[in-house]
Every structure is written in structure tokens, then in C-alpha cells.
Amino acid sequence: MSVYKPLTGAQATAEAMRQINPDVVAAYPITPQTPIVEFFAEFVANGLVDTEMIPVESEHSALSCVVGAAAAGARAMCATSSQGLALMWEIVAATPGLRLPIVMPVVNRALSTPINIHCDHSDTMGTLTIGWVQIYSENAQEAYENVFLALKIAEHPDVLLPVMVMQDGFITGHGVENVKVLDDAVVKEFVGQRNPDRYLLDLEHPYTIGPLALPDFYYEVKRQQEEAIERAKEVYLRAGEELAKITGNTYPYFEEYKSDDAEAVIVILNSAAGTAKDAIDELRAEGRKVGLIKPKLFRPFPYKEYREVLKDKKVIGVLDRSISFGSYAPVYAEIRNALFELDHRPAMQSYIYGLGGRDIFKSEIKNVFEELLSGNVDSEKQKYIGLRG
């Protein structure tokens, strides 16, 4: 039986990890991820899991240990945020090429400098090009369920890639919600066991992993990696269907909220999508045709599916919680890319909001819709919500 528990996003993630009971977890504190590994350490200390935990000396070693453990044949996890993700970047980039199925929850936090512990998406948006599957979560419930989804995708033989599961720092990570927690036995059956076909501890079959590949083979390895992440698109949907059977929720590439008949649509991911839904409800009550698309699977990016739902829209606003300095913001750039094949493209506007944890208000999102519907948009100009003038 599922039960509702008051949990923070971090706690919900730790709860998912408890139910998975991985072989190995490496832990390093980094605000606002820290409660995940703290809660999990308590589970270890009290025998609620029998995971071997490694309290490492850095984020770089956290993922290095997890890679070593996964290569050895274990189901291994770690979690991080911001500066921690930046410090481990070398290993983040190295992991997909080894084709190791690692799940890493990431609690989004602004990147230094200036140093700031609050939410934006500059940490994970900085890792878009290096081969991790990325799933974003609006709230603690999604953060919880996406961990299971991620594990299924990562370990699928057609994929074998690492997966990041995102949630917003503090807003989701430290905010308490009523989370529907699945029955332990149900999760246990859903996640099963990791059954690698090659691993270091298979001593009968010595295995070389991580060799040097020069210009004669490196290219092919990377092409195979690309094919694998493309396959993750389909695997995401299939794994989602399977997960839906135990959660009752659905796992599309993106959530469509009152967007069907909408003239103006905004695209916004993670927690601010919740605020946007409230704004949309109020505008809808006034008869305005507005809606939301909330990205969930961000890597691989389902371009065609976005194009299908956005092609007939009059105007689209994309709200990014990070800047891609010197170019279009990351989410905006993807949506813009998705529409290239259309003969008649919707009008588009890029907005930046909420950097370093600045709040975004319902009134600001309503203003965005007003602006979009007024036609005052410029697809080449980036606007800033809530920026001090």
C-alpha cells in the first residue's frame, strides 16, 4: 500500500534510495544536496538498508568511487549540486563513455561566482553536451518517482548510460510536501537487481574497461554512445509505462498543462512550473487561452514531439533559470531548434528568471502571458523577469 508522508524533496529522494537499497552509495556534503546523503546515512546507521556507504573526501572522488563500484558490478549511486557537480565534471564527462548505469540525483543550485547556495539551473545546464540522460522534476513527488524511472533507463541494455534526476534546490529540496510513497515490496520488485553482462568482479572473465582509444577507434565509441542516448528516448517511455502501473502517474517527455487550445504557451521546467500552473488557472478563469509545457526528459531532447505540440501555437515564451552566456538560453535554444522544420513558426520570446534563487511570482508569469499575447516579442532578444532595474 502506498502511504502519504510529509517529506522534503531531498528526503523523498533519500526515501527512493532507501527503497532501491543500492549496493554502494558515495556521499559528500554540498548544499542543498546534503540532506539526501544525511537521510540516507541515517538509514544505513539504523539498518534500514544494507548499502555500503563511502563518506568520500570530495565530489570528484564521490563519482570516481561510484564509477569504480559500478564497473565492479555494483548498483551504485551518489548525489550532488552546483560546485560539487562542477568539481566532478571531469568524471561526469568520463562516465557515459564507460557505459555504466549510474543514477545521480542533482539538487539544482547556482554556480559560483558570486557564490550562492540557492536555486538556478546553471549547474546541470552546463553538462548538457556530455552524454547523461537528464530528467527534471517539478516537485518532491516527481523527484521521488523519477529516481525509479532513471534506474530503469540507466540499466536498460539498450541504454547503459548514467542518468541525472534534477530538483530545485531549497524550493523542492528543502520544502515539505505530502509525498505518496510506494510500498517497499512494490519498489523492490520494480527495480529488481542489476545484472551486468561484464564486470570487474567477474573474475572468470577478466575485463578491461576504460582503455585508451586513439583516432582509429575513439570516434566509433562516441557514435555508439550517441546511438545509446537516442535509444533512451523510447526506453524512457516504456519505463514510464511500467512505472505508471505502480504509481498511477504518467511519464510523458513533457507535461502539457492546458496547452491544447492555448494561443500562448510558456515552457518552464522544475518548480516554477507549479507557479505557472496557478497563473494559468487564474488567466483561464478570465477566458485567456494560455498554457504550459513542462519539460521532463531533457536529454535526449525529444525535438519532434515538441514540434508536434507547438507547431500551431501563436506565440511561445520560454523561461530559463540559467543563462548560456553569449548564446540563447539552454531551454529556449532547444525549443527554437525544435521548430526549425516548420514552414510557419510561432512567434517566440526568451526569458531569464530566478537566477541565484530569486523568487518568481505568479504575477510575473501573468505579465509574461500578457506580453506574449500582446505580440510584443522578439525571438532574438532575451528578456529578464524580476531583474532589479
Partner 1 sequence: MATYQDIVSKPTPLAPGHRMCAGCGIPAIVNSIIAASDKPVIVANATGCLEVTSTIYPFSAWNVPWVHLTFENAAAVAAGIETAYKALKKRGKIKDDVNIIAFGGDGGTYDIGIQALSGALERGHRFLYVVYDNEGYMNTGNQRSGATPFGADTTTVPAGTKSIGKTQWRKNIVEISAAHRIPYAAQAAAHNVVDIYNKAKKALSADGPSFLAVLQPCTTNWKYDTALTMKYSKLAVETNFWPLYEIENGKVHINYKPKERKPIEEFLKGQGRYRHLFKPENRYAIEEFQSLVDEEWERLLKLEESGAKL
Q: Name the minimum Å distance from CB 57 to partner 1.
A: 3
Residue 90 touches partner 1, criterion: CB under 8 A: yes
CB under 8 Å to 145, separation ≥6 — which residues? 16, 243, 247, 249, 251
> What x-and-dash track marks residues 161-200 binding partner 1 by CB under 8 A?
---------------------------------------x
Residue 52 touches partner 1, criterion: CB under 8 A: yes
Is residue 76 within 8 Å of 51, Cβ to Cβ?
no
Exposure letters 88-124 (e unless 16+ CB within 10 A, then b): bbebbebbbbbbbbbbbbbbbbbbeeeebbbbbbbbb
Q: Are strands 103-108 and 290-295 parallel, antiparallel or unpaired?
A: unpaired
CB under 8 Å to 122, separation ≥6 — which residues? 110, 111, 321, 322, 323, 355
Residue 48 touches partner 1, criterion: CB under 8 A: no
CB under 8 Å to 376, separation ≥6 — which residues? none
Residue 214 touches partner 1, criterion: CB under 8 A: yes
Q: Name the minimum Å distance from CB 130 to partner 1.
A: 14
Residue 74 touches partner 1, criterion: CB under 8 A: yes
Q: Are strands 382-384 and 347-352 parallel, antiparallel or unpaired?
A: parallel
Residue 102 touches partner 1, criterion: CB under 8 A: no
| Binding test (CB under 8 A) with partner 1, winner from 41, 72, 130, 246 | 72
Residue 6 touches partner 1, criterion: CB under 8 A: no
| Binding test (CB under 8 A) with partner 1, winner from 98, 130, 237, 347 | 98
Q: Which residue lies nearer to partner 1 by CB, 72 or 244?
A: 72
| Binding test (CB under 8 A) with partner 1, winner from 47, 113, 197, 212 | 212
| Binding test (CB under 8 A) with partner 1, winner from 8, 51, 146, 167 | 51
CA dihedral 273, 278, 279, 284 (to 10 degrees): 120
Q: Which residue lies nearer to partner 1 by CB, 211 or 375?
A: 211
Residue 237 touches partner 1, criterion: CB under 8 A: no
Q: Which residue lies nearer to partner 1 by CB, 10 or 76?
A: 76
| Binding test (CB under 8 A) with partner 1, winner from 115, 157, 210, 387 | 210
Identify the helix (H) or strand (E) that includes residue 255.
strand 254-257
Identify the helix (H) or strand (E) that includes residue 196.
none
Residue 245 to residue 144: CA distance in whole angstroms? 16
Q: Cell digits for 157?
A: 541494455
Residue 145 touches partner 1, criterion: CB under 8 A: no
The footprint of partner 1 on this chain (CB under 8 A) covers a number of residues equal to 44
Is residue 264 within 8 Å of 226, Cβ to Cβ?
no
What Cα–Cα distance (Å) separates residue 155 from each residue in 33, 70, 106, 208, 234? 24, 11, 19, 20, 14
Contacting partner 1 within 216-235 (CB under 8 A): 217, 221
Give the residues lining the site for partner 1 (CB under 8 A).
23-24, 26, 50-52, 54-58, 60-61, 64-74, 76, 90-91, 94, 98, 200-203, 206-214, 217, 221
